[in-house]
A = this chain, B = another copy of it.
Amino acid sequence: MTGPVLRDWQSVRAEVLRRIHVRDWKPGDLIPNEADLASEFGCARSTVNRALRDIAQSGLLDRRRKAGTRVASNPVARATLSIPVMREEIEGVGRKYGYQLLSRSTEIPPVAESAAMQLTPDDALLHIRALHLADDRPFALENRWIDPGVVPGVTDAPLENISANEWLLQNAPYTHGEIAFSATVAQASDAPLLGCDTGAPLFVTERLTWDGTRAVTRVRILFPPGYQMRTAL
């Protein structure tokens, strides 16, 4: 039963995945330890380690010291979403990107915003509304609040030509963020901009990014009916 020698970690990964797939190792099962697998495959333990670590990262294996490695019984599917800059998302599918700044002003935001950003309700923020176009048709409507106290240069940023997201990525550091996806219906004010009817279903993404303990920006983007966010599993 000395199968072909598996020298590289990707082959080891493939073989382990195969065994899981054909149910040699069933959900919940404990699989042999790294040392045994290494000697079976004819490679170093570190190679097996790399392969198993990679699989574990995808959620298909559970690894715990001393307890060993077992096949996840409820493999929490983990999908990695790439969230590119709007321009790349559009140009990536061969369409022409367009950008249109609708408004830009410094205002006191609604309490919902200042609360989410953990600011006092009377802090003024830079408010930006913009439309992203694909082949000259509405692709997404952006509604963004930026704290100029955290991002000093914003007030002079050339946001007529470059989207706020792109400018911020280049100019404002951040440490972490949160994203939420949901659905809503088109308001009468937004519908014409998105080229849809009032009441039409819109896909919404909301992002809040932080630099340490300070909120940098909060953005809500509305996508017209038909938009899908897709990813591989």
Contacts and interface: CB of A to CB of B under 8 A. Distances in A.
Copies in the complex: 2
Given A81-B81, A183-B183, A185-B185, A169 B233 contact: no
A12 interface: no
Given A80-B81, A175-B21, A181 B203 contact: yes
Q: Give chain A's interface residue range (CB within 8 Å of chain B).
A: 35 or more
A94 to B, nearest CB: 18
Nearest to A185: B201
Contacts of A207: 233
A192 interface: no
A72 to B, nearest CB: 9
Given A79-B80, A81-B80, A203 B183 contact: yes
A155 B50 CA distance: 40
Interface string A171-190: 00101111111111100000
Contacts of A200: 185
A112 interface: no
Given A81-B78, A209-B233, A233-B209, A183 B201 contact: yes
Given A178-B230, A183-B227, 17 more contacts: A20-B173, A74-B85, A76-B84, A76-B85, A79-B80, A79-B81, A79-B83, A81-B81, A176-B232, A176-B233, A180-B230, A181-B181, A182-B203, A183-B183, A185-B199, A185-B201, A199-B199
A66 to B, nearest CB: 21
Given A27-B170, A173-B22, A207-B233, A179 B74 contact: no
A157 to B, nearest CB: 15
20 contacts: A23-B173, A73-B170, A76-B85, A77-B83, A77-B84, A77-B177, A78-B82, A79-B83, A177-B233, A179-B231, A180-B229, A181-B203, A181-B230, A182-B228, A183-B183, A183-B202, A183-B223, A185-B185, A185-B200, A199-B199
